[in-house]
Amino acid sequence: MSVPHRVAVLALDGVVALDLGTPAQVLGAARADDRTPLYAVATCTPGGQPIRSSAGFQVLPDHGLELLGSADTVIVPGIHSGSPLHEGTVAAEVARALRTAYDRGARVMSICTGAFVLAAAGLLDGRPATTHWAYASRFRRLHPGVRLDPDVLFVDDGRVLTSAGVAAGIDLCLHVVRTDHGSAVANRAARRCVVPPWRDGGQAQYIERPVPRGAENGTAATREWAQQRLHEPVALREMAAHARMSVRTFTRHFRSETGLSPAQWLLQQRTEHARVLLETTDLSVDRIARDSGFGTTAALRQHFHARVGVSPTAYRRTFRRPSPAAPAVAVVDLGVVVPGRPGMSQSSTATTA
């Protein structure tokens, strides 16, 4: 039996409770075909001492910083307080332990504001990275040498990986499982955790912005208009005209509000509409291709496989909902393969076109 990949979660005072539990939950759900755990996750703190969490309880770890000396992967969850967040510094023993782990070949990751800890330890200098969008300005001020991208869900820069805020840690951990063991294992882990195996778009869709006072100031009405016309060709120029904006202004507003370009959003809506039709109707795949705006079966097959990972026919066989008169049938886990990486690898974007 192979030894599970050893993961050390380094918790510091003020640790974000969800971030702290994410690695053990998501990586712990990754199993081989014979149900053997693929990761062994343990938690440590400086000196093995209790620390406070952001949720009003204390964390009593089983290990001190020595755990980092044998870990294959080190993960730093986000924090809501402390010198890394406010002064851009970290205790010398913590910085030394992180750098030593990296220098001997360990993979180092952060979730949310844990990126402040990696940056304070000098592990992000000159690298692309991300963190919670609400802390982007502070991060840039404290660490101008880091190539921060606050628009993506995570950044994979080889042996150093960072994620956006809170739930984006789930996306990052699933990405790691997918990279280490393939899409089938990652998708099974996602199902076990009852989360989507990947998410389109980046942080832009979650950033707080003033709500437009009138429909003429935003794109919501145009999006609703376009959704009623998915079976028709919908051109960018038509969408801009409906919103009473120039194409350039409309595109800027649209991306600001949705995190996607109009073309990416339309493709997403067409694919989702096709999924609903495949699950809930007996329409032919050719008819579904026309009704969802892809035009031809070949176009539907190409885009559906690129976004969902299987052909429309295979998807229907797996997820077709039985009619009321038919007996209930359990959904079979086929280990759907999702192509590519759903976050950011090197300098690629977080969205899927």
pLDDT exceeds 90 at position 331: no
CA angle at residue 17 from 164 to 200, to 5 degrees?
30
Question: What pLDDT, on a 0 to 100 scale, did the predictor assign at position 166?
Answer: 86
Backbone angles phi, psi at 176, to 5 degrees: -65, -45
pLDDT exceeds 70 at position 3: yes
Count of other CB atoms within 10 angstroms of residue 205 = 17
Nearest-angstrom CA–CA distance, 174 and 262: 27
pLDDT exceeds 80 at position 330: no
Average pLDDT over residues 50-77: 97
Question: What pLDDT, on a 0 to 100 scale, did the predictor assign at position 207?
Answer: 56
Backbone angles phi, psi at 31, to 5 degrees: -130, 150
DSSP code, position 74: E
Give residue 192's pLDDT band: very low, low, confident or very high (50, 70, 90). Answer: very high
- Number of Cα atoms under 13 Å in the Cβ half of residue 348: 14
Q: Which amino acid, 158?
A: G
Mean per-residue pLDDT of the chain:
85
Cβ atoms of residues 199 and 45 within 8 Å: no
Q: Which two tokens stand for residue 87?
A: 């002064």
Give residue 305's pLDDT band: very low, low, confident or very high (50, 70, 90). Answer: confident
pLDDT exceeds 70 at position 205: no
Cβ atoms of residues 7 and 73 within 8 Å: yes
Nearest-angstrom CA–CA distance, 178 and 184: 8
Distance of alpha carbon 71 from the chain centroid: 24
From the number of C-beta atoms within 10 Å of its C-beta (0-12, 13-18, 19+), residue 79 rates as buried
Q: Which amino acid, 197?
A: P
Q: Which amino acid, 212?
A: P
Cβ atoms of residues 73 and 106 within 8 Å: yes
> What whole-number percentage of the chain has pLDDT above 70?
84
Give residue 324's pLDDT band: very low, low, confident or very high (50, 70, 90). Answer: very low
**100-154: per-residue pLDDT in tens?**
999 999 999 999 999 999 999 999 999 999 999 999 999 999 999 999 998 888 9
Quote the crossing angle between the two packed helices 297-308 and 262-280, to the nearest 10°.
Answer: 100
Give residue 339's pLDDT band: very low, low, confident or very high (50, 70, 90). Answer: very low
Nearest-angstrom CA–CA distance, 21 and 111: 11
Nearest-angstrom CA–CA distance, 243 and 232: 18
Question: What pLDDT, on a 0 to 100 scale, did the predictor assign at position 184?
Answer: 84
Q: Are strands 5-10 and 73-76 parallel, antiparallel or unpaired?
A: parallel
Question: What pLDDT, on a 0 to 100 scale, did the predictor assign at position 320?
Answer: 65
Nearest-angstrom CA–CA distance, 188 and 74: 23
Q: Which amino acid, 136?
A: A
Question: What pLDDT, on a 0 to 100 scale, did the predictor assign at position 329?
Answer: 37
Question: What pLDDT, on a 0 to 100 scale, did the predictor assign at position 105?
Answer: 97
Give residue 170's pLDDT band: very low, low, confident or very high (50, 70, 90). Answer: very high
- Of 180 and 213, more confident: 180
The model's pTM is: 0.64
Question: What pLDDT, on a 0 to 100 scale, did the predictor assign at position 59?
Answer: 96
pLDDT exceeds 80 at position 156: yes
Residue 109: strand pairing partners: 75, 161
**231-287: per-residue pLDDT in tens?**
999 999 999 999 999 999 999 999 888 888 999 999 989 998 998 898 888 999 999
Give residue 90's pLDDT band: very low, low, confident or very high (50, 70, 90). Answer: very high
pLDDT exceeds 60 at position 186: yes
Question: What pLDDT, on a 0 to 100 scale, did the predictor assign at position 322?
Answer: 52
Q: Which two tokens stand for residue 237?
A: 């120029």
